[in-house]
A and B are shown apart, each in its own frame.
Chain A
Amino acid sequence: MDEKTVLIVDDSRVSRMLIKSVVVDRHPDWTILESGSGDEALTHAGEQIDLMIIDFNMPGMNGMTLAEKMKALYPTAHISMLTANVQDSIQKRADSLGIGFEKKPITEEKIANIMAQVQPSYV
Protein backbone atom coordinates (compact mmCIF):
# COMPACT_ATOMS: atom_id res chain seq x y z
CA MET A 1 0.00 0.00 0.00
CA ASP A 2 1.14 3.53 -0.70
CA GLU A 3 1.32 5.14 2.72
CA LYS A 4 0.86 8.88 2.92
CA THR A 5 1.42 11.54 5.53
CA VAL A 6 -1.33 14.08 6.12
CA LEU A 7 -0.83 17.36 7.97
CA ILE A 8 -4.03 18.77 9.49
CA VAL A 9 -3.80 22.43 10.53
CA ASP A 10 -6.80 23.88 12.36
CA ASP A 11 -7.05 25.81 15.62
CA SER A 12 -10.27 23.94 16.40
CA ARG A 13 -9.55 20.63 18.12
CA VAL A 14 -13.06 19.51 17.17
CA SER A 15 -12.36 20.10 13.49
CA ARG A 16 -9.07 18.24 13.67
CA MET A 17 -10.87 15.31 15.33
CA LEU A 18 -13.55 15.24 12.63
CA ILE A 19 -11.00 15.31 9.79
CA LYS A 20 -8.78 12.75 11.48
CA SER A 21 -11.68 10.34 12.05
CA VAL A 22 -12.45 10.27 8.31
CA VAL A 23 -8.79 9.82 7.33
CA VAL A 24 -8.23 7.04 9.89
CA ASP A 25 -11.46 5.33 8.93
CA ARG A 26 -10.54 5.24 5.25
CA HIS A 27 -6.83 4.75 5.59
CA PRO A 28 -5.60 3.59 9.00
CA ASP A 29 -2.06 3.15 7.66
CA TRP A 30 -1.61 6.85 6.82
CA THR A 31 0.42 8.98 9.21
CA ILE A 32 -1.40 11.99 10.60
CA LEU A 33 0.31 15.12 11.87
CA GLU A 34 -1.78 17.74 13.67
CA SER A 35 -1.09 21.41 14.30
CA GLY A 36 -3.23 24.06 16.01
CA SER A 37 -1.54 27.00 14.28
CA GLY A 38 0.57 27.97 11.28
CA ASP A 39 3.71 28.36 13.36
CA GLU A 40 3.24 24.90 14.85
CA ALA A 41 2.69 23.47 11.36
CA LEU A 42 5.99 24.94 10.17
CA THR A 43 7.84 22.94 12.83
CA HIS A 44 7.03 19.89 10.67
CA ALA A 45 8.89 21.40 7.69
CA GLY A 46 11.41 18.91 6.41
CA GLU A 47 9.34 15.88 7.37
CA GLN A 48 7.59 13.84 4.69
CA ILE A 49 4.19 15.41 3.98
CA ASP A 50 2.02 14.42 1.02
CA LEU A 51 -1.25 16.16 1.85
CA MET A 52 -2.09 19.26 3.87
CA ILE A 53 -5.56 20.25 5.01
CA ILE A 54 -5.40 23.82 6.27
CA ASP A 55 -7.98 26.07 7.95
CA PHE A 56 -7.96 29.78 7.03
CA ASN A 57 -8.95 31.69 10.20
CA MET A 58 -6.40 30.84 12.88
CA PRO A 59 -4.62 32.80 15.59
CA GLY A 60 -1.31 34.22 14.34
CA MET A 61 -0.52 33.30 10.76
CA ASN A 62 -3.61 32.71 8.63
CA GLY A 63 -4.00 29.58 6.54
CA MET A 64 -3.25 31.30 3.23
CA THR A 65 0.12 32.58 4.46
CA LEU A 66 0.93 29.10 5.74
CA ALA A 67 -0.16 27.56 2.43
CA GLU A 68 2.16 29.92 0.51
CA LYS A 69 5.10 28.91 2.71
CA MET A 70 4.26 25.21 2.48
CA LYS A 71 3.78 25.40 -1.29
CA ALA A 72 7.34 26.71 -1.59
CA LEU A 73 8.67 23.98 0.70
CA TYR A 74 6.56 21.14 -0.75
CA PRO A 75 5.89 21.93 -4.43
CA THR A 76 4.55 18.43 -5.16
CA ALA A 77 2.36 17.98 -2.07
CA HIS A 78 -1.37 18.62 -2.35
CA ILE A 79 -2.67 21.48 -0.21
CA SER A 80 -6.36 22.11 0.41
CA MET A 81 -7.86 25.04 2.27
CA LEU A 82 -10.82 23.82 4.35
CA THR A 83 -12.56 26.85 5.74
CA ALA A 84 -15.75 28.47 6.92
CA ASN A 85 -14.56 31.70 5.31
CA VAL A 86 -16.14 31.13 1.91
CA GLN A 87 -15.71 34.64 0.52
CA ASP A 88 -15.02 34.81 -3.21
CA SER A 89 -11.83 36.77 -2.50
CA ILE A 90 -10.42 33.92 -0.38
CA GLN A 91 -11.37 31.32 -2.96
CA LYS A 92 -9.69 33.36 -5.70
CA ARG A 93 -6.49 33.57 -3.66
CA ALA A 94 -6.55 29.80 -3.21
CA ASP A 95 -7.08 29.33 -6.96
CA SER A 96 -4.22 31.62 -7.87
CA LEU A 97 -1.95 29.80 -5.43
CA GLY A 98 -2.90 26.52 -7.08
CA ILE A 99 -4.33 24.89 -3.98
CA GLY A 100 -7.69 23.22 -3.34
CA PHE A 101 -10.61 24.93 -1.62
CA GLU A 102 -13.36 23.18 0.36
CA LYS A 103 -16.10 24.80 2.38
CA LYS A 104 -16.81 23.82 5.97
CA PRO A 105 -18.74 22.08 7.49
CA ILE A 106 -16.52 19.04 7.40
CA THR A 107 -18.16 16.02 5.84
CA GLU A 108 -16.84 12.58 5.03
CA GLU A 109 -17.36 13.24 1.33
CA LYS A 110 -15.33 16.47 1.37
CA ILE A 111 -12.41 14.86 3.20
CA ALA A 112 -12.56 11.86 0.84
CA ASN A 113 -12.41 14.25 -2.12
CA ILE A 114 -9.33 15.91 -0.67
CA MET A 115 -7.72 12.51 0.03
CA ALA A 116 -8.41 11.49 -3.55
CA GLN A 117 -6.00 14.21 -4.70
CA VAL A 118 -3.12 12.05 -3.49
CA GLN A 119 -4.75 8.64 -3.88
CA PRO A 120 -7.53 8.65 -6.51
CA SER A 121 -8.77 5.19 -5.59
CA TYR A 122 -9.95 6.46 -2.19
CA VAL A 123 -12.89 8.58 -3.33
Chain B
Amino acid sequence: MFEITDIQRDYITEILNISMGSAAAVLSEMVGEEVGLSVPEVVFLPRRVAADKFDLNNSAKMSGVTQSVSGAINGDALLMFPEEKTLTIVRILLGDTVPVESLTEMEQEAMCEIGNIILNAIVSSVANLLQKEIVSSLPHFISGTGREIYAINAGCEDDLVMFLKVGFGLESQSINGHVTLMLNVPSLREFIAHLDEQINAL
Protein backbone atom coordinates (compact mmCIF):
# COMPACT_ATOMS: atom_id res chain seq x y z
CA MET B 1 0.00 0.00 0.00
CA PHE B 2 1.26 3.46 -0.91
CA GLU B 3 1.63 5.65 2.13
CA ILE B 4 2.49 9.26 2.74
CA THR B 5 3.58 11.08 5.86
CA ASP B 6 1.39 13.53 7.73
CA ILE B 7 3.43 16.48 6.50
CA GLN B 8 3.14 15.28 2.88
CA ARG B 9 -0.63 14.84 3.27
CA ASP B 10 -0.86 18.28 4.84
CA TYR B 11 1.10 19.80 1.97
CA ILE B 12 -1.00 18.04 -0.70
CA THR B 13 -4.18 19.26 1.01
CA GLU B 14 -2.79 22.79 1.10
CA ILE B 15 -1.85 22.67 -2.58
CA LEU B 16 -5.38 21.51 -3.34
CA ASN B 17 -6.80 24.24 -1.12
CA ILE B 18 -4.87 26.96 -2.92
CA SER B 19 -5.56 25.48 -6.35
CA MET B 20 -9.26 25.10 -5.66
CA GLY B 21 -9.25 28.67 -4.37
CA SER B 22 -8.02 29.80 -7.80
CA ALA B 23 -10.73 27.73 -9.46
CA ALA B 24 -13.37 29.14 -7.11
CA ALA B 25 -12.22 32.68 -7.95
CA VAL B 26 -12.62 31.86 -11.64
CA LEU B 27 -16.05 30.29 -11.11
CA SER B 28 -17.10 33.21 -8.94
CA GLU B 29 -16.05 35.60 -11.72
CA MET B 30 -18.16 33.60 -14.16
CA VAL B 31 -21.34 33.40 -12.07
CA GLY B 32 -21.04 36.68 -10.16
CA GLU B 33 -21.44 35.26 -6.67
CA GLU B 34 -19.37 33.74 -3.90
CA VAL B 35 -18.50 30.08 -4.25
CA GLY B 36 -18.45 27.94 -1.12
CA LEU B 37 -15.74 25.28 -0.81
CA SER B 38 -15.54 22.08 1.24
CA VAL B 39 -12.44 20.79 3.00
CA PRO B 40 -10.32 18.78 0.54
CA GLU B 41 -10.23 15.00 0.95
CA VAL B 42 -7.14 13.01 0.06
CA VAL B 43 -7.34 9.22 -0.05
CA PHE B 44 -5.45 6.36 -1.70
CA LEU B 45 -7.82 3.70 -3.00
CA PRO B 46 -8.31 1.35 -5.93
CA ARG B 47 -10.50 3.09 -8.54
CA ARG B 48 -13.38 0.64 -8.01
CA VAL B 49 -13.49 1.25 -4.25
CA ALA B 50 -13.19 4.98 -4.73
CA ALA B 51 -16.01 4.92 -7.26
CA ASP B 52 -18.30 3.34 -4.63
CA LYS B 53 -17.10 5.60 -1.86
CA PHE B 54 -17.61 8.75 -3.87
CA ASP B 55 -20.89 7.81 -5.51
CA LEU B 56 -22.38 10.24 -3.06
CA ASN B 57 -25.50 11.02 -5.01
CA ASN B 58 -26.82 7.51 -4.56
CA SER B 59 -26.43 6.64 -8.22
CA ALA B 60 -28.16 9.83 -9.40
CA LYS B 61 -26.91 10.89 -12.79
CA MET B 62 -24.09 13.39 -12.94
CA SER B 63 -22.73 15.42 -15.83
CA GLY B 64 -19.36 16.92 -16.13
CA VAL B 65 -16.09 17.34 -17.86
CA THR B 66 -12.87 15.36 -17.72
CA GLN B 67 -9.35 16.15 -18.84
CA SER B 68 -6.29 13.92 -18.69
CA VAL B 69 -3.18 15.48 -17.21
CA SER B 70 0.45 14.53 -17.68
CA GLY B 71 3.83 15.90 -16.74
CA ALA B 72 4.44 16.72 -13.07
CA ILE B 73 1.30 14.70 -12.30
CA ASN B 74 -0.40 12.00 -14.36
CA GLY B 75 -4.06 11.08 -14.18
CA ASP B 76 -7.50 12.56 -14.70
CA ALA B 77 -9.18 15.73 -13.53
CA LEU B 78 -12.96 15.75 -13.28
CA LEU B 79 -15.58 18.42 -12.71
CA MET B 80 -19.03 17.07 -11.90
CA PHE B 81 -22.50 18.52 -11.34
CA PRO B 82 -25.92 16.90 -10.86
CA GLU B 83 -27.21 16.29 -14.38
CA GLU B 84 -30.41 18.29 -13.90
CA LYS B 85 -28.38 21.41 -13.09
CA THR B 86 -26.22 21.60 -16.20
CA LEU B 87 -28.68 23.63 -18.23
CA THR B 88 -29.04 26.10 -15.36
CA ILE B 89 -25.26 26.45 -15.18
CA VAL B 90 -24.97 26.99 -18.90
CA ARG B 91 -27.74 29.61 -18.76
CA ILE B 92 -26.04 31.49 -15.91
CA LEU B 93 -22.71 31.51 -17.67
CA LEU B 94 -23.80 32.37 -21.18
CA GLY B 95 -26.44 34.88 -20.15
CA ASP B 96 -28.21 36.30 -23.16
CA THR B 97 -25.29 35.68 -25.53
CA VAL B 98 -27.05 32.56 -26.77
CA PRO B 99 -30.77 32.39 -27.64
CA VAL B 100 -32.77 30.23 -25.18
CA GLU B 101 -33.76 27.80 -27.96
CA SER B 102 -30.07 27.11 -28.68
CA LEU B 103 -29.11 26.43 -25.05
CA THR B 104 -29.80 22.68 -25.12
CA GLU B 105 -27.86 22.31 -28.36
CA MET B 106 -24.93 24.18 -26.84
CA GLU B 107 -25.11 22.47 -23.44
CA GLN B 108 -22.28 19.96 -23.88
CA GLU B 109 -20.04 22.40 -25.69
CA ALA B 110 -20.59 25.06 -23.06
CA MET B 111 -19.95 22.59 -20.25
CA CYS B 112 -16.67 21.58 -21.91
CA GLU B 113 -15.49 25.16 -21.94
CA ILE B 114 -16.61 25.73 -18.35
CA GLY B 115 -14.78 22.56 -17.32
CA ASN B 116 -11.74 23.59 -19.32
CA ILE B 117 -11.53 26.90 -17.48
CA ILE B 118 -12.14 25.50 -13.99
CA LEU B 119 -9.96 22.40 -14.33
CA ASN B 120 -7.16 24.39 -15.94
CA ALA B 121 -7.29 26.90 -13.09
CA ILE B 122 -6.64 24.02 -10.69
CA VAL B 123 -4.04 22.26 -12.80
CA SER B 124 -2.22 25.53 -13.55
CA SER B 125 -2.16 26.39 -9.88
CA VAL B 126 -0.74 22.95 -8.96
CA ALA B 127 1.91 23.35 -11.70
CA ASN B 128 2.84 26.81 -10.48
CA LEU B 129 3.09 25.66 -6.86
CA LEU B 130 5.27 22.71 -7.87
CA GLN B 131 7.20 24.96 -10.28
CA LYS B 132 6.72 22.28 -12.93
CA GLU B 133 4.70 22.04 -16.14
CA ILE B 134 1.53 19.99 -16.51
CA VAL B 135 -0.02 19.29 -19.89
CA SER B 136 -3.77 18.84 -20.00
CA SER B 137 -5.74 17.18 -22.78
CA LEU B 138 -8.77 18.73 -24.43
CA PRO B 139 -11.93 18.56 -22.31
CA HIS B 140 -14.50 15.79 -22.78
CA PHE B 141 -18.14 15.90 -21.70
CA ILE B 142 -19.13 12.96 -19.50
CA SER B 143 -22.41 11.79 -18.08
CA GLY B 144 -23.46 8.89 -15.87
CA THR B 145 -23.60 7.81 -12.25
CA GLY B 146 -20.63 8.67 -10.06
CA ARG B 147 -19.61 5.03 -10.21
CA GLU B 148 -19.62 5.01 -14.02
CA ILE B 149 -17.76 8.28 -14.28
CA TYR B 150 -15.01 7.36 -11.84
CA ALA B 151 -14.38 4.19 -13.80
CA ILE B 152 -13.60 6.27 -16.91
CA ASN B 153 -10.49 4.25 -17.64
CA ALA B 154 -12.10 0.86 -18.22
CA GLY B 155 -9.84 -2.00 -17.27
CA CYS B 156 -8.08 0.05 -14.62
CA GLU B 157 -10.59 -0.61 -11.83
CA ASP B 158 -8.01 -2.22 -9.61
CA ASP B 159 -5.39 0.50 -10.09
CA LEU B 160 -4.53 2.34 -6.93
CA VAL B 161 -5.07 6.06 -7.35
CA MET B 162 -4.76 9.11 -5.19
CA PHE B 163 -8.16 10.81 -5.02
CA LEU B 164 -8.19 14.49 -4.23
CA LYS B 165 -11.72 15.76 -3.95
CA VAL B 166 -13.23 19.17 -3.16
CA GLY B 167 -16.89 20.10 -3.18
CA PHE B 168 -18.19 23.55 -4.04
CA GLY B 169 -21.54 25.25 -3.99
CA LEU B 170 -23.45 28.22 -5.37
CA GLU B 171 -25.95 29.10 -2.70
CA SER B 172 -28.38 31.20 -4.71
CA GLN B 173 -28.83 28.49 -7.34
CA SER B 174 -28.70 25.46 -5.00
CA ILE B 175 -25.99 24.01 -7.18
CA ASN B 176 -23.36 21.74 -5.68
CA GLY B 177 -20.60 20.14 -7.64
CA HIS B 178 -17.20 18.69 -7.06
CA VAL B 179 -13.78 18.50 -8.56
CA THR B 180 -11.67 15.36 -8.36
CA LEU B 181 -8.10 14.69 -9.31
CA MET B 182 -7.28 11.00 -9.76
CA LEU B 183 -3.54 10.54 -9.85
CA ASN B 184 -1.95 7.28 -10.90
CA VAL B 185 0.34 5.74 -8.33
CA PRO B 186 3.31 5.20 -10.71
CA SER B 187 3.53 8.99 -11.13
CA LEU B 188 2.86 9.60 -7.46
CA ARG B 189 6.40 8.75 -6.40
CA GLU B 190 7.67 11.53 -8.63
CA PHE B 191 4.93 13.84 -7.36
CA ILE B 192 5.86 13.07 -3.75
CA ALA B 193 9.53 13.70 -4.60
CA HIS B 194 8.52 17.17 -5.90
CA LEU B 195 6.62 17.76 -2.67
CA ASP B 196 9.60 16.71 -0.57
CA GLU B 197 11.82 19.15 -2.46
CA GLN B 198 9.38 21.91 -1.60
CA ILE B 199 8.87 20.83 2.00
CA ASN B 200 12.64 20.59 2.55
CA ALA B 201 13.05 24.09 1.18
CA LEU B 202 10.64 25.51 3.78
Q: A21–B106 Cα gap in the complex (Å)?
A: 16
Number of interface residues of B (CB under 8 A): 27
CB distance from A23 to the nearest CB of B (A): 12
A17: CB under 8 A from chain B?
Answer: yes
Cβ-defined contact, A14 with B127, below 8 A: no
Please judge, given known A-B contacts A57-B138, A87-B134, A105-B30, whether A15 and B113 are in contact too, CB under 8 Å. Answer: yes
Per-position 1/0 for A99-111, Cβ under 8 A of B: 0000111010000
A13: CB under 8 A from chain B?
Answer: yes
Cβ-defined contact, B116 with A89, below 8 A: no
Partner of B128, one of A18, A58, A88: A88
Per-position 1/0 for A1-28, Cβ under 8 A of B: 0000000000111110110010000000
Interface residues in A12-60 (C-beta closer than 8 Å to B): 12-15, 17-18, 21, 57-59
- The chain A residues found within 8 Å of chain B, CB to CB, are 11-15, 17-18, 21, 57-59, 83-90, 103-105, 107
Given contacts A11-B138, A18-B94, A105-B30, 12 further A-B contacts (CB under 8 A): A12-B113, A15-B113, A18-B97, A21-B97, A83-B120, A84-B117, A84-B120, A85-B123, A86-B22, A86-B120, A87-B133, A107-B29
